């Protein structure tokens, strides 16, 4: 995935904020998986729940998925209203602040 697509899928985040989130995501394990069926309503609901609970979530695109990873990344970001922070191979990282009790404090844009 090109960095331009990541920027398109996370327009509200600045580069430093994406770097911060990538650092925080490094030790995370994928909690949502996209399989052969692709991005279904169930996958979107699972990601929404995980984002509400954790704010920063890794998603694994299984080898059985026949579509394009970029299309899946876009569908997940649009379906959940989240930002796709990173893509490495078949792993995607998504961020969405918890509306009730945000845990991750993003650095300010100019810092």
CATH of the domain at 17: 3.30.110.60
Res. 70 pLDDT band, cuts 50 70 90? very high
Average pLDDT over residues 97-109: 91
Q: Residue 107 falls within a domain, yes or no?
A: no
User: Which residues are CB-neighbours of 22 under 8 A, at least 6 positions away?
Assistant: 85, 86, 93
**What does the block give as tokens for 17?**
């904020």
Q: How far apart are CA 83 and CA 57, in angstroms?
A: 11
Q: Which domain holds residue 47?
A: 3-95
The number of domains in the chain is 1
pLDDT band for 110, please (50, 70, 90 cuts). Answer: low
Do strands 30-34 and 83-88 pair parallel, antiparallel, or not at all (unpaired)?
unpaired
Asked if the structure places residue 28 within a domain, the reply is yes
Instruction: Please report the sign of the dihedral spanned by the C-alpha atoms of residue 12, residue 24, residue 93, residue 51.
Output: negative
Radius of gyration for the chain, computed over Cα atoms and rounded to the nearest angstrom: 13
Residue 111 in domain: no
């Amino acid at each position: 995935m090109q960095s331009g697509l990541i920027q398109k899928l996370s327009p509200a985040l600045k580069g430093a904020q994406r770097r911060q989130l990538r650092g925080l995501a490094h030790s995370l394990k994928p909690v949502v998986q996209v399989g052969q069926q692709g991005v279904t309503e169930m996958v979107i609901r699972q990601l929404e729940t995980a984002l509400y609970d954790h704010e920063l979530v890794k998603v694994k695109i299984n080898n059985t998925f026949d579509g394009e990873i970029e299309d899946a990344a876009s569908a997940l970001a649009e379906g959940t209203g989240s930002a796709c922070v990173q893509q490495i191979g078949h792993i995607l990282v998504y961020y969405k602040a918890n509306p009730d009790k945000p845990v991750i404090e993003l650095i300010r844009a100019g810092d």
